[in-house]
Amino acid sequence: MRVLLQRVKEASVTVEEETIGQIEAGYLLLVGVTHEDTETEVNWLADKVAGLRVFEDADEKMNLSIQDVDGKVLSVSQFTLYGDTLKGRRPAFTQAAKPDIAERLYEKFNERLRTHGLVVETGKFGAMMDVALVNDGPVTLMLEKNA
């Protein structure tokens, strides 16, 4: 499982010209699932996201978690995180989990984030989405837990 985490001042996701998820300060998470992923990877990554200290404290050091700053989460499914571009010019997505498995684990990931008291907005699984954000910092981290 892979999560591309971006610390944001604001973010939103729109489907067919309708905003379906929107947050102010917090994280935009792009979430990819691969074949071998289980709830072990889901729980590990959700717990990691909830506890990461990437918000600045009074001394301008990354020392605060999203919980410490009452931040929110916008979580967007993103199978292209498992795009393979080593051969040819068109990405292969054979490492991405099948939609039924990926959607179940993506939903479990969001549920686990909520158990940490986080407000979690989402995109629409499998839909074409327009994602807008104002990156804060910028702070962007790739988080991964292999099976």
- Give catalytic residues, as residue numbers: 78-80
Q: What whole-number distance in Å separates Cα of residue 55 and Cα of residue 92?
A: 35
Q: What whole-number distance in Å separates Cα of residue 21 and Cα of residue 72?
A: 11
β-pair partners for 56: 62
Pairing of strands 72-77, 26-32: parallel
Task: Tell me the HSE value of 117 on the side-chain side, using a 13 A CA sphere.
Answer: 8
